[in-house]
Structure 1
Amino acid sequence: MQNHYANFDDFYVDYLKEHQNRTSRRLHFVGTSLSFVLAAIAIANYQWWLLALAFAQGYAWAWVGHFFFEKNKPATFQHPWLSYKGDMRMWWDILTGKIPF
Protein backbone atom coordinates (compact mmCIF):
# COMPACT_ATOMS: atom_id res chain seq x y z
CA MET A 1 0.00 0.00 0.00
CA GLN A 2 1.05 3.58 -0.56
CA ASN A 3 2.12 5.88 2.24
CA HIS A 4 -0.16 8.76 1.24
CA TYR A 5 -3.56 8.99 -0.44
CA ALA A 6 -5.24 12.06 -1.86
CA ASN A 7 -8.65 10.88 -0.64
CA PHE A 8 -10.52 7.92 0.76
CA ASP A 9 -11.64 6.65 -2.65
CA ASP A 10 -8.00 6.30 -3.72
CA PHE A 11 -7.26 4.39 -0.54
CA TYR A 12 -10.31 2.14 -0.97
CA VAL A 13 -9.07 0.91 -4.35
CA ASP A 14 -5.87 -0.35 -2.70
CA TYR A 15 -7.82 -1.58 0.34
CA LEU A 16 -9.92 -3.87 -1.86
CA LYS A 17 -6.78 -5.23 -3.52
CA GLU A 18 -5.64 -6.32 -0.04
CA HIS A 19 -8.97 -8.14 0.46
CA GLN A 20 -9.25 -10.35 -2.60
CA ASN A 21 -9.53 -13.62 -0.70
CA ARG A 22 -13.19 -14.48 -0.14
CA THR A 23 -12.57 -16.17 3.22
CA SER A 24 -10.74 -13.09 4.44
CA ARG A 25 -13.63 -10.84 3.37
CA ARG A 26 -16.08 -13.16 5.13
CA LEU A 27 -14.01 -13.01 8.31
CA HIS A 28 -13.97 -9.21 8.10
CA PHE A 29 -17.74 -9.16 7.62
CA VAL A 30 -18.43 -11.50 10.52
CA GLY A 31 -16.05 -9.65 12.85
CA THR A 32 -17.50 -6.25 11.99
CA SER A 33 -21.07 -7.54 12.34
CA LEU A 34 -20.31 -9.06 15.74
CA SER A 35 -18.66 -5.83 16.86
CA PHE A 36 -21.86 -3.94 15.97
CA VAL A 37 -23.94 -6.40 17.99
CA LEU A 38 -21.61 -6.19 20.98
CA ALA A 39 -21.59 -2.39 20.81
CA ALA A 40 -25.39 -2.31 20.73
CA ILE A 41 -25.59 -4.65 23.72
CA ALA A 42 -23.04 -2.52 25.58
CA ILE A 43 -25.04 0.64 25.00
CA ALA A 44 -28.41 -0.94 25.73
CA ASN A 45 -27.23 -2.49 29.00
CA TYR A 46 -24.72 0.15 30.11
CA GLN A 47 -21.97 -2.49 30.06
CA TRP A 48 -19.20 -0.31 28.72
CA TRP A 49 -16.53 -2.99 28.99
CA LEU A 50 -18.24 -4.71 26.05
CA LEU A 51 -17.14 -1.81 23.83
CA ALA A 52 -13.53 -2.84 24.33
CA LEU A 53 -14.45 -6.43 23.53
CA ALA A 54 -16.32 -5.30 20.40
CA PHE A 55 -13.29 -3.36 19.23
CA ALA A 56 -10.82 -6.19 19.95
CA GLN A 57 -12.80 -9.02 18.44
CA GLY A 58 -13.62 -7.00 15.32
CA TYR A 59 -9.92 -6.67 14.60
CA ALA A 60 -9.16 -10.25 15.64
CA TRP A 61 -11.37 -11.73 12.92
CA ALA A 62 -9.91 -9.40 10.31
CA TRP A 63 -6.33 -10.12 11.28
CA VAL A 64 -6.91 -13.87 11.04
CA GLY A 65 -8.08 -13.21 7.50
CA HIS A 66 -4.95 -11.26 6.67
CA PHE A 67 -2.34 -13.46 8.29
CA PHE A 68 -3.76 -16.87 7.30
CA PHE A 69 -5.67 -16.26 4.06
CA GLU A 70 -4.48 -13.04 2.41
CA LYS A 71 -0.89 -13.54 3.61
CA ASN A 72 -0.42 -9.77 3.97
CA LYS A 73 -0.25 -7.12 6.68
CA PRO A 74 -3.48 -5.37 7.69
CA ALA A 75 -3.78 -1.78 6.47
CA THR A 76 -4.50 -0.88 10.11
CA PHE A 77 -0.78 -0.84 10.82
CA GLN A 78 -0.06 1.97 8.33
CA HIS A 79 -3.42 3.71 7.98
CA PRO A 80 -5.58 3.07 11.07
CA TRP A 81 -8.35 5.61 10.37
CA LEU A 82 -8.55 4.92 6.63
CA SER A 83 -8.51 1.19 7.35
CA TYR A 84 -11.41 1.54 9.78
CA LYS A 85 -13.37 3.51 7.20
CA GLY A 86 -12.44 0.92 4.56
CA ASP A 87 -13.71 -1.89 6.74
CA MET A 88 -17.01 -0.09 7.28
CA ARG A 89 -17.39 0.57 3.56
CA MET A 90 -16.47 -3.00 2.62
CA TRP A 91 -18.96 -4.30 5.20
CA TRP A 92 -21.68 -2.12 3.63
CA ASP A 93 -20.67 -3.15 0.10
CA ILE A 94 -20.90 -6.83 1.09
CA LEU A 95 -24.22 -6.29 2.84
CA THR A 96 -25.68 -4.54 -0.21
CA GLY A 97 -24.28 -7.09 -2.68
CA LYS A 98 -21.69 -4.85 -4.36
CA ILE A 99 -18.95 -7.21 -3.21
CA PRO A 100 -19.56 -10.98 -3.12
CA PHE A 101 -19.82 -12.62 0.28
Structure 2
Amino acid sequence: MRSAIGFLSLLAFGFLAAGVLTVIGTAPLPNLSIEQVLSADQSGVHLGSLLLGLVLGLVLSALARVSWAELPRRFVGWLLHHERSFYRLALAGVFIGILLFY
Protein backbone atom coordinates (compact mmCIF):
# COMPACT_ATOMS: atom_id res chain seq x y z
CA MET A 1 0.00 0.00 0.00
CA ARG A 2 2.86 2.31 0.83
CA SER A 3 4.48 1.84 -2.59
CA ALA A 4 1.15 2.53 -4.33
CA ILE A 5 0.71 5.76 -2.39
CA GLY A 6 4.30 6.73 -3.15
CA PHE A 7 3.75 6.06 -6.85
CA LEU A 8 0.53 8.07 -6.92
CA SER A 9 2.16 10.99 -5.10
CA LEU A 10 5.05 10.90 -7.56
CA LEU A 11 2.59 10.89 -10.44
CA ALA A 12 0.66 13.81 -8.93
CA PHE A 13 3.87 15.77 -8.42
CA GLY A 14 4.89 15.11 -12.03
CA PHE A 15 1.57 16.36 -13.36
CA LEU A 16 1.76 19.39 -11.09
CA ALA A 17 5.28 20.16 -12.34
CA ALA A 18 4.15 19.69 -15.94
CA GLY A 19 1.28 22.11 -15.36
CA VAL A 20 3.55 24.70 -13.78
CA LEU A 21 6.08 24.42 -16.61
CA THR A 22 3.31 24.72 -19.17
CA VAL A 23 1.82 27.81 -17.57
CA ILE A 24 5.20 29.50 -17.10
CA GLY A 25 6.77 28.49 -20.40
CA THR A 26 4.01 29.15 -22.89
CA ALA A 27 2.66 32.44 -24.08
CA PRO A 28 -1.01 32.79 -25.05
CA LEU A 29 -1.42 31.75 -28.67
CA PRO A 30 -4.65 32.23 -30.62
CA ASN A 31 -6.47 29.24 -32.20
CA LEU A 32 -4.43 26.38 -30.72
CA SER A 33 -4.96 22.98 -32.26
CA ILE A 34 -3.45 19.60 -31.35
CA GLU A 35 -0.99 19.83 -34.24
CA GLN A 36 0.24 23.22 -33.04
CA VAL A 37 0.58 22.03 -29.44
CA LEU A 38 2.59 18.94 -30.39
CA SER A 39 4.71 20.64 -33.05
CA ALA A 40 8.27 21.66 -32.18
CA ASP A 41 8.20 25.04 -33.96
CA GLN A 42 6.34 26.92 -31.21
CA SER A 43 8.03 28.82 -28.42
CA GLY A 44 7.77 27.45 -24.90
CA VAL A 45 7.54 23.93 -23.59
CA HIS A 46 7.15 21.07 -26.09
CA LEU A 47 4.33 19.11 -24.46
CA GLY A 48 5.04 15.85 -26.29
CA SER A 49 8.60 15.77 -24.99
CA LEU A 50 7.45 16.80 -21.53
CA LEU A 51 4.94 13.94 -21.39
CA LEU A 52 7.51 11.46 -22.73
CA GLY A 53 10.05 12.59 -20.14
CA LEU A 54 7.48 12.29 -17.38
CA VAL A 55 6.56 8.73 -18.41
CA LEU A 56 10.22 7.69 -18.75
CA GLY A 57 10.98 9.16 -15.33
CA LEU A 58 8.15 7.16 -13.77
CA VAL A 59 9.34 3.98 -15.48
CA LEU A 60 12.92 4.53 -14.34
CA SER A 61 11.82 5.20 -10.77
CA ALA A 62 9.79 1.97 -10.80
CA LEU A 63 12.79 0.02 -12.19
CA ALA A 64 15.05 1.51 -9.52
CA ARG A 65 12.93 -0.17 -6.82
CA VAL A 66 13.68 -3.67 -8.17
CA SER A 67 16.41 -5.55 -6.33
CA TRP A 68 18.33 -6.80 -9.37
CA ALA A 69 20.84 -8.81 -7.35
CA GLU A 70 18.05 -10.79 -5.68
CA LEU A 71 15.98 -11.33 -8.83
CA PRO A 72 17.66 -14.54 -10.15
CA ARG A 73 17.38 -16.25 -6.75
CA ARG A 74 13.72 -15.33 -6.46
CA PHE A 75 13.03 -16.54 -10.03
CA VAL A 76 14.63 -19.94 -9.38
CA GLY A 77 12.70 -20.21 -6.12
CA TRP A 78 9.47 -19.44 -7.97
CA LEU A 79 10.27 -22.11 -10.58
CA LEU A 80 10.95 -24.70 -7.88
CA HIS A 81 7.81 -23.72 -5.98
CA HIS A 82 5.64 -24.17 -9.11
CA GLU A 83 7.41 -27.32 -10.37
CA ARG A 84 4.31 -29.44 -9.95
CA SER A 85 2.24 -27.02 -12.06
CA PHE A 86 4.82 -27.19 -14.86
CA TYR A 87 4.70 -30.99 -14.71
CA ARG A 88 0.90 -30.93 -15.01
CA LEU A 89 1.08 -28.44 -17.87
CA ALA A 90 3.56 -30.66 -19.72
CA LEU A 91 1.31 -33.71 -19.25
CA ALA A 92 -1.73 -31.75 -20.47
CA GLY A 93 0.26 -30.68 -23.54
CA VAL A 94 1.24 -34.27 -24.26
CA PHE A 95 -2.35 -35.51 -23.90
CA ILE A 96 -3.75 -32.72 -26.07
CA GLY A 97 -1.07 -33.46 -28.66
CA ILE A 98 -2.09 -37.12 -28.66
CA LEU A 99 -5.76 -36.18 -29.12
CA LEU A 100 -5.02 -33.77 -31.96
CA PHE A 101 -2.49 -35.78 -33.91
CA TYR A 102 -3.86 -39.31 -33.48
State the TM-score, normalized to the length of structure 1.
0.31
Higher RCO by CA contacts (8 Å cutoff, separation 6 or greater):
1
